[in-house]
Structure 1
Amino acid sequence: MSTGIPAPKPPPRLYEYRLPGDWTVLAGRTDADNDTLSLALAAPDDWWFHVRGVPGSHVVLRARPGQEPVRETLRQAAAVAAYHSKARNGGIVPVACTQARYVTKPRGAKPGTVCIRKETILKVRPGLPAQSQGD
């Protein structure tokens, strides 16, 4: 007997990494995970990353109250985004970076599709932090 209530969505499956200085980076595994990470889990002050022009994971660097990440921390998070993309073997790749508050979903867009504003482009080599906790 159906109650008419939709089944709850499964929790997103995310890769999680630690950067030096105890910063946390999260990366989505699927388009649905990317949507949940970027639009529901990311706080407005978190930093958001995605490789330019290539399919890949949405990546979020968790903000820390009263602390701004240094440029090297942003670059390391961008390298994680490059690693979890089709550009993984592409040498130096451009990665868009903005705060999560500037990430929105266009009405009717398919999962994993977002619009971003106020982006900065970081050019990085794909890679993961040395002591990662991802799979």
Structure 2
Amino acid sequence: MTDRPESSVHRPDPPRVWEYTLPDGHRVMAGKTDADNDRLSLKVAGPNDWWFHVRGMPGSHVVLIAADGRMPGRNTLNQAAAIAAYHSKARGGGVVAVSGTLARHVTKPRGAKPGTVQIRKERVFKVRPALPESY
């Protein structure tokens, strides 16, 4: 145990994110930088939250917070995937493929650069990039 004062203990900054509330009350967060994506995906997201990222191009990691332990419906998952598409290089495209999985299936490979993750049990959502205000 150290005798350091509490104020000198270094805690990582919370991730900088865009936050949205979907019509059904679920919260969605999208990382702003690679380091923010890492913290959001690996530290903030709970095992039952959903994680999203556009397939095959750069973009934000997006986390759908499981509100009150409720499992989100298909429409809610599609809305979160649309936010992931919006916060990516595919924003100007038509229909975009977005990978989604429970956050428990998101891991970081040893030695990988910030923002790099591996996912298992992927589900692919085909959505148009959009933010909640445009639903």
Query: Please, what TM-score do these two structures have when normalized by structure 1?
Result: 0.89
After superposition, residues 13-92 of structure 1 pair within 5 angstroms as 13-92=16-95
**1:78-134 C-alpha deviation (Å, 9 max, x unpaired):** 000000000000110000010000000000000000000001000000000018xxx
**1:26-50 C-alpha deviation (Å, 9 max, x unpaired):** 0000000000000000000000000
Q: Which has the higher helix share?
A: 2
The alpha carbon displacement at 1:21 in A equals 1.0
The alpha carbon displacement at 1:20 in A equals 1.1
Residue 115 of structure 2 aligns with which residue? 112
| Number of equivalent positions | 128
Is the 2:27–2:67 contact (alpha carbons within 8 Å) kept by the matching residues of 1?
A: no
Q: In angstroms, what is the RMSD of aligned CA positions? A: 1.7
Q: Which structure has more RCO (C-alpha within 8 Å, separation ≥ 6)?
A: 1
Is the 2:25–2:67 contact (alpha carbons within 8 Å) kept by the matching residues of 1?
A: no
Q: What stretches of structure 1 move > 2 A for 4+ residues in a row?
A: 5-11
Structure 2, gaps ≥5 residues long: none
Structure 1, gaps ≥5 residues long: none
Query: Please, what TM-score do these two structures have when normalized by structure 2?
Result: 0.89
